[in-house]
A = this chain, B = another copy of it.
Amino acid sequence: MERGDDVSEERILLDHGSGGLASHRLISEVFFRYMGNEHLYGMDDAACVWTGPLTAVSTDTFTVDPLFFPGGDIGSLAVHGTVNDVAMLGARPRYITCGFLIEEGLPLRDLERIAASMARAAQEADVRVVAGDTKVVTRGAADKLFINTTGLGELLLDTPLSGAGAEEGDAVLVSGNLGDHGLAVFAAREGLSFQTPVRSDSACLNHMVAHLLQQVPEVRVLRDPTRGGLATTLNEIAGQSGRDIFLREADLPVDPEVRESCSFLGLDPLYLANEGKLICVVPRRWADEAQQVLREHEAGVNVACIGEVGGWSRGRVILETGIGGRRLLQMLEGEQLPRIC
């Protein structure tokens, strides 16, 4: 074995989470190397950031298994997930914090790869990592690595968007194909391979959102259909707005390969997590303009108008099937795929 290999096989020890010397070395040599900026270099208990009068805040813990999957890894996902949640309020994400919870024995190489991936994702999203924390627990007390990110953003609107904003007659758009992330992670976990490999759609959506809000003055709802998929997120919007949402099954964009694999595996792409898609509810008169804006972005090339909002109700989601039938699309009940994000 070469001396170089020796180093790359270094593993995380409990000592790296002690707050003492080894923690300081890990922070300097891994986290600062990739994510360093003046907020972190201060090495104080907290960072101080410039904010506007209204700040959007979101937090999320990422537990995805495996850590690496086609199209991303837990690091990029932890940035995208939180950046997108902040953006969905109608905000420009500016800062994130990262809490690493590491199982003793994690290869240092994996942590470095993940830190580098987070740094790239943060740069692409134009957010800065302003505070961090590292904890290490004994073998068996956690599974490899969990990451919490909390995001802060500047509101781009006078009032934040909410799932409660949908109104009768509004068009419901989705920015692209459904289910890619869920299926990609599931396949990576189970060691399945498809003819055409399915990749996660994990991506930051904040630039697309900023563009949309600039061009379309009446966006009613933005929401990313992550855990629980499109069906669950639409149920949330329907419930918050107190209106039914009618979907046209034929218009739901699903990649044929994903559709076929899901059918084979007994998974429903409408309940699979997406990590680079958004649902957008707009007045019908703005639906074309909104689609045109979304289509200009890589994450929006397959945008589709999938349905519309009905009148006051208990907030159901109703799927109009190809053969003219109607079926109630419930919120996810039961967990088919844990640790998908």
Contacts and interface: CB of A to CB of B under 8 A. Distances in A.
A51 B53 contact: yes
5 contacts: A17-B335, A44-B163, A48-B160, A136-B338, A142-B142
Interface stretch (A151-159, A171-179, A292-300): A151-159
Contacts of A117: none
Contacts of A137: 63, 143, 338-339
A50 interface: yes
Given A53-B50, A54-B49, A228-B18, A146 B101 contact: yes
B136 A142 contact: no
A66 B318 CA distance: 47
Contacts of A150: 59, 97, 99, 131, 148, 150
Contacts of A22: 333-335
A261 interface: no
Contacts of A164: 42
Nearest to A338: B14
A191 B86 CA distance: 44
Interface string A202-244: 0000000000000000000001101110001000100010000
Interface in A48-99: 48-61, 63, 65, 84-86, 88-89, 91, 95, 97-99
A20 interface: yes
Contacts of A334: 15, 18, 20, 22
Nearest to A55: B51
Interface string A1-35: 00000000000011101111111100000000000
Contacts of A123: none
Interface in A122-170: 130-133, 135-138, 140-143, 146, 148, 150-153, 155, 160-164
A58 B18 contact: no
A74 to B, nearest CB: 12
A63 B100 CA distance: 11
Contacts of A161: 44
List 10 A-B pairs, minimum CB-CB distance, nearest first: A20-B332, A19-B227, A46-B58, A59-B97, A150-B150, A148-B148, A19-B228, A18-B335, A45-B85, A141-B143
Given A130-B57, A146-B142, A17 B47 contact: no
